[in-house]
Amino acid sequence: MTREAQTWRQKKNRALYQFKVTLRGIHPPIWRRIQVWEDATLAQLHRVLQMVMGWEDYHLHEFRIGRKI
């Protein structure tokens, strides 16, 4: 099997995660539903959020895992 075929096979079996991202302290609520592959990095997630929110990488943000900051 070629390297390209192996890469395709690995990508074919990836899980796709769906998230609902909500901005806090805003009324009415502003939110987006996004989907990212299981192997997406935080840097890639950051770029997706910038695009779906229409931002240009100048908003303050933080990533929370569970309830910890």
In a domain, 43, yes or no: yes
Question: Residue 11 sits in which domain range?
Answer: 3-53
- Tens-place pLDDT, residues 5-59: 556 556 678 899 999 999 889 999 999 999 999 999 988 999 999 999 999 988 7
In a domain, 60, yes or no: no
Q: What pLDDT shows up at residue 64? A: 74
The pTM (predicted TM-score) of the whole model is: 0.67
Counting the structural domains of the chain, the total is: 1
In a domain, 44, yes or no: yes
Q: Using CA of residue 51, residue 55, residue 56, residue 60, what is the dihedral sign?
A: negative
Tell me if 21 sits within 8 A of 34, measured CB to CB.
Answer: yes
In a domain, 16, yes or no: yes
Predicted confidence band of residue 2 (pLDDT cuts 50, 70, 90): low
In a domain, 26, yes or no: yes
In a domain, 59, yes or no: no
In a domain, 10, yes or no: yes
